[in-house]
Structures are given as structure tokens and as C-alpha cells.
Chain A
């Protein structure tokens, strides 16, 4: 009892006795989650504005005689004529490790019924991205666990790699797989007790998705044991556009905390097309002039200022990183739309997924020709680079040759060999959802292909052979895999060990 009275007494002592000065205004119009407020002459751009009944808004449009505020929360509690007041604060969200394993809304409030968030630090959702000086180029790999990506489109920590494709081509699945793989690597690394191990913490931002989809994603994380390293920020389709607009920035602030405290984090924005649509909706209600595809003129800035906040910091600044995997949904494979071209130009590369490939059963449906990682190859581990260096070219040549060879009956031996190898690599890259593969296993399997271990196997049997090889490496071949994992290299000695392990496996096959 006394502790409560003490608490109240302390609060009373803390209250300043000075007169407070606030800037106020009144709601002139109220529609679609946006309030036009008359007055508020001293409000700042992006400042939080307080309305009655604990409703908050953000000042987005500063005009001569009125201010446009997007409202967060229950807008039905407000009416025209209500008073609005400035707070002098920018919108902030809780950050820190207390958010791991939690599901929160766009302003960081828990929505998973696991009690309050254990965090006493907040970061503003809008921040200036790190400049050039504190940054460093990408050097450490971020393993997605997806063979097609890790071998041909390697991603480094601090990179921004776009995942782009039509609806239902496996975009979300690639992002989820990557997160599951981080959790796997984190667990292994932390168990090994290696002091230099750097876990990757993950943030998944769901914008404008169906609630059922978000629920399914959460379930996957829980079932795979990844949830303890993941924070989910959810602004589903039913949420008002203001929350959908804010969610990516809120998630980014949570990721920045890891980066600025010398840790590594990964953030997925699923997806920025819906984010742009929410922003367009807000802008139209605010009566901003609209341009191409009815988007407002600053829609480029909407995404550039978000993605620029992902970075790799140098040693003087703690060595942390924030890797971003933004997702864009295209219409009928058209990458020349306004939003896709914008985001392509901001990111360091893209993983392009094709409906055709997906329907042919080539999943993940990564298009080799159109996908690229502009910085990640510097971060690929040496062993993998050695075996996968030429794969992208081989596969691209295969696609070309395959198209021509349809008309050709007798092919020369070299062409035939290329076609055979290509067909096997295509099979090799097929991978089920939610089934990421460790990089040392990937390296070994790729080495096996490059050293003709699969040449005698029928193309239609490749998938099952690869599965059996992976299984073999996980059980019997652990020693050599462990060596690749620890050193990241593939020296002559290791190569010999790998060859003998593969020969053992090959004998079990016939």
C-alpha cells in the first residue's frame, strides 16, 4: 500500500510547476482516418498530435491555414470541433531485445496477448539514415539457406536485396526461409560457444496482408522454433492506412537498435507495393497533387528514406548491420511499373521470381537472367565462391541452349554436356518451402555436381539423389562439413576428404 502512495508522491514531485505551453487547433473535417485541423500553427512535420480519448495523430501536411493529420487508433471516438494539441514529440516505438518473440502493431503495442513489452528504450520511427562516413562495404554473408540464392545471388549483411515477382510466386516463402535459416544458424552458433559468433535478429513487417496470412507466418515461425529471434510488426489490410504507412518505419527503428548496438539484424518488408498504396490513399485524402499512377510526387522518397536506413557500420561505429529484404509484387511480370522501378533503383539487387517457372515446378522460381546481387559476392564464403562461381553463367547458357536445341536433333558433345549439366543444376536448385539448407551442405552438394558425381544419375532422379546426399552429409559426412563451416574454405585437403565422403555415398546409391 505504502509503495503506491510513494509512487504517487514521487510523480507529484516530478511534475513541473511551470505553466505548460501547448499549441492547439480544432478538427475542421474528419474523413477516412485523416483529420484536417485548423490552428496548430507551430506543429512540426511528423510530430505527434494529441486528440481527445487518447487518440494520436501525425502531422503530415502543413498548410497555411490548416494541418492534415493521419490518425492512429479509434477514429470513431473523434468528432469535428474536437481540440487537437501538439506534443513536441516525434512518434516513437519501443526497441530492444524485449521485442524478440513478440507480435506488435505499427506503433509497437503488443497484439499477441503475451503481456506488456519488456523494454524501456524507444526510438523515433523516422530517423536520418547513416551517412557515408560510418558505413563500410558489405563483407559478411547473410545465408538465406536457399541454394539458388546463396550460390548465384549471394547476400551480404547490410545489403538491400529486393524480392520481386507476381502474386503467389513464392516471395514471402523466400523471406520466411531466410528468417528460419537465421534462427538455425543462431542456435548452432550460440551452442558452439564461439565468442566471435554474431547472431542475426529478424524483424518481419507485414503490410496490408490478410490476417490469416500473418497468422500462418507466425505459425511457421513457431513450429520451426524461429520465433525467439523474430519480431513481427503487423499492419494488416483491415488496419487503417496510417498504420500501414507507419509499420515499415516502426520495424526499421527496431532493427536500427540492433545495428547501432553492434549487432546484426535482418528486416523483411512484406510488401512495399501495399505500403505505397496505403501512402497513395493517405495522400489522396490529404488532397496532395498526384502524378504517375496517381501516386504523390514524393513516393520515391517514401521508400528511399526507408531503405537507406539499412547499412553496414564500420568498426568505429560498433560494426553492426541491418540487412533489408523488401518485397514488391508486380502485375503480370511487369517490372517497369512506377513502384517496381523506383525500388529496383534504390536496392543493391533483386531476386526476380517468375510465374512460368513456378508453374513448371521449378521452385523457388528464381529467374537467373533477371536476378542479381550487386554487392553480395564480396561476402560469399570462399569455399562456396570456389564451387559456385560459374554456376550462374552455366545456367544462363543452359537456358539459351535449351531454347535452341529444341529444333536440333544431333548436337555436338560439348553442347550436350552443357545441356546435361544445366538440367542437373536446375533440378539441384529445386527446394521445398520452409526447408533451408546450411551453407556447408550447399557447398558440398554443389562441389559434387561440379565434379561429375551426378552425371550418371537420370535427371528425373536428381531431386531424390540430392535429398539422399544431404541426408548422408548430415549424418555421416559431418566431419568434412564441419571443416567447411569452421574455416569457410575448401583447401586441397578438405577437398580430398569431401571426395572420399562422396564416393562412400555414391556406393550406397547403386
Chain B
């Protein structure tokens, strides 16, 4: 399988076109691009679309993450975490809050590939590992 560098280049260009001034993905613009592609299908459409999808995902991952907590209602700490991470990354990060009973207590935050975790579940897992 040869590296399809041309498709990648095109996909990168398309990502540029789908962003607004703040560097966020604009659904409106994506719709436009998809219609364009549909109207003029080429041999490369499929690889371009695949690359486009991964790049868009990566782009969204830079400003959107998830925050898992035992109880999704307790909100004050969530704001604190969200503020801190936004400051650390130098831009506003949106956190989607999810409930995860298996954590027992604490939190697990995921932004892109990065996972920050401090929960009883993870400590127990670490303890278990250090004892075997």
C-alpha cells in the first residue's frame, strides 16, 4: 500500500475550509464540502473522505473532551477542572460530562489521546498491579 500523500494534502485543505475563526469545526461548512464532493465524485473521493474524517476528529479533539464522574450532577468541581485544563492548554476546552459508576469516586477526563485520571477505580487497579 503506497502512502496516498495527495489525498492527504487535499483532505488537509478541506479541513482548513471547514474551520471558523476560532479554529472550531463549522457543521455548515462541512455540509457544503460534502455536497461538493458528492456532485463531483472522483477516483480519490473515498480516501479523501477517510482522511478528512480522521483529521476532523483530531481537530475536534483539540477543544472538546469528556469528563467522566461517578455522579454527573455534582457540578462545582467540573467547572474547576474545565477551567484548569483550558488554562493549561491555552484555549477554551469544552468538556462533555458523563456518568460512570465504575469509577467509585474521582474523575476521568479524556481530551484527544490524553487521559487524566484520578479515581478510586484506577488506584485499586494500580494497587492490584503492584501486588502481583
Binding site for B on A (CB under 8 A): 7-8, 11-12, 14-15, 17-25, 38-42, 64-65, 85, 287
Contact status A19-B116, CB under 8 Å: yes
Residue contact B117 to A19, C-beta cutoff 8 Å: yes
**Min distance, Cβ B15 to any Cβ of chain A, angstroms:** 13
Known contacts A11-B127, A65-B54, A287-B1; is-contact A23 B114 (Cβ 8 Å) = yes
A17 engages B118 (CB within 8 Å) = yes
With contacts A20-B122, A65-B54, A287-B1 known, is A12 near B127, CB below 8 A? yes
Given A11-B130, A39-B113, A40-B113, answer yes or no on A18-B118 (Cβ-Cβ < 8 Å).
Answer: yes
Q: If A8-B131, A17-B118 touch, does A23 touch B113 (CB 8 Å cutoff)?
A: yes
In the bound complex, residues from chain B placing their C-beta under 8 Å from that of A23 are 113-115
Q: How far is the CA of A12 from the CA of B131 in the complex (A)?
A: 10
Q: Residue on A with the closest CB to B110?
A: A24
A39 CA / B57 CA spacing, docked (Å):
11
Interface 0/1 of B88-124, CB less than 8 Å to A:
0000000000000000000100101111111000110
B1 touches A25 (CB 8 A): no
A21→B131 contact, CB < 8 A: no
Residues of chain B contacted by A7 (CB below 8 angstroms): 131
- Closest B residue to A7 by beta carbon equals B131
User: B43 at the A/B interface (Cβ < 8 Å)?
Assistant: no
Contact among A15, A19, A41 for B112, CB-based, below 8 A: A41
* 28 residue pairs bridging A and B, Cβ less than 8 Å apart: A7-B131, A8-B127, A11-B127, A11-B130, A11-B131, A12-B127, A14-B130, A15-B130, A19-B116, A19-B117, A20-B117, A20-B122, A23-B113, A23-B114, A23-B115, A24-B110, A24-B114, A39-B112, A40-B113, A41-B112, A41-B113, A42-B113, A42-B114, A64-B8, A65-B54, A65-B58, A85-B115, A287-B1
Which residue in chain A gives the minimum CB-CB distance to B132? A54
> Which of A15, A21, A22, A41 is close to B127, meaning CB atoms less than 8 Å apart?
A15
Shortest CB-to-CB span from A448 to chain B, Å, is 63
Contact with A along B64-100 (1 / 0, CB 8 A): 0000000000000000000000000000000000000
Instruction: Give the docked Cα–Cα distance between A40 and B58 (Å).
Output: 12
Chain A nearest CB: distance from B42 CB in Å? Answer: 22
- A62 → chain B closest CB, angstroms: 13
Tell yes or no: B38 within 8 A of A by CB. Answer: no
Residues of chain B lying within 8 A (CB to CB) of residue A287: 1
| Bound: A38/B112 CA distance, A | 11
What residues of B have a CB within 8 angstroms of the CB of A15 in the complex?
A: 123, 126-127, 130
> Taking CB as reference atom, which chain B residue is nearest A19?
B118
Contacts of A11 in B (CB 8 A): 127, 130-131
Cβ A20 vs Cβ B130 within 8 A? no
For B54, the chain A residues whose CB sits under 8 A away are 38, 65
Q: Which single residue of chain B is at the shortest CB-CB distance from A66?
A: B54
Determine the distance from Cα of A17 to Cα of B115 in the docked complex, in whole angstroms.
16
- A38 proximity list for chain B (CB < 8 A): 54
Residues A21 and B116 in contact, CB atoms below 8 Å apart: yes
One of B8, B107, B114 near A21 (C-beta < 8 A): B114
**Cβ distance B108 to chain A, nearest Cβ, rounded Å:** 9
Alpha-carbon separation in the docked complex, A7 to B127 (Å): 11
Contact A24:B113 (CB < 8 A) given known A15-B123, A15-B127:
yes
List the B residue with the shortest CB-CB distance to A26.
B113
A24 to B122, CA, bound (A): 15
Answer whether A24 and B115 are a contact pair too, CB < 8 Å, given A15-B123, A65-B54, A287-B1.
yes
User: In whole angstroms, how far apart are the Cα atoms of A409 and B31 in the complex?
Assistant: 97
Q: How far is the CA of A20 from the CA of B110 in the complex (A)?
A: 12
How far is B106's CA from A17's CA once the two chains are assembled, in angstroms?
11
Known pairs A15-B126, A65-B54; A20 contacts B116 (CB<8 A): yes
B104: shortest Cβ distance to chain A, in Å? 15
Q: Select B117's contact among A22, A41, A42, beta carbons within 8 Å.
A: A22
Which residue of chain B is the closest to A12 with respect to CB atoms? B127
Q: Residue-by-residue, is B1-26 near A (CB-CB < 8 Å gives 1, otherwise 0)?
A: 10000001000000000000000000
User: Which chain A residues lie closer than 8 Å to B58 at the CB level?
Assistant: 65
- Bound-state CA distance A85–B118 (Å) is 16
A22–B117 Cα gap in the complex (Å)?
8
Given the complex, which residues of A lie within 8 Å of B110, measured CB to CB?
A: 24
Q: How far is the CB of B100 from chain A (nearest CB, A)?
A: 14
CB closest chain-B residue, reference A22: B115
16 new A-B contacts, CB < 8 A, other than A7-B131, A15-B123, A85-B115, are A8-B127, A8-B131, A15-B126, A17-B118, A19-B107, A20-B122, A21-B114, A21-B115, A22-B114, A23-B114, A24-B114, A24-B115, A25-B113, A39-B112, A40-B113, A41-B113
Residues on B with C-beta less than 8 A from A21 are 114-116
How close is A266's CB to chain B, nearest CB, in angstroms? 35
- C-alpha spacing A21/B123, complex, angstroms: 13
A7 to B131, CA, bound (A): 9
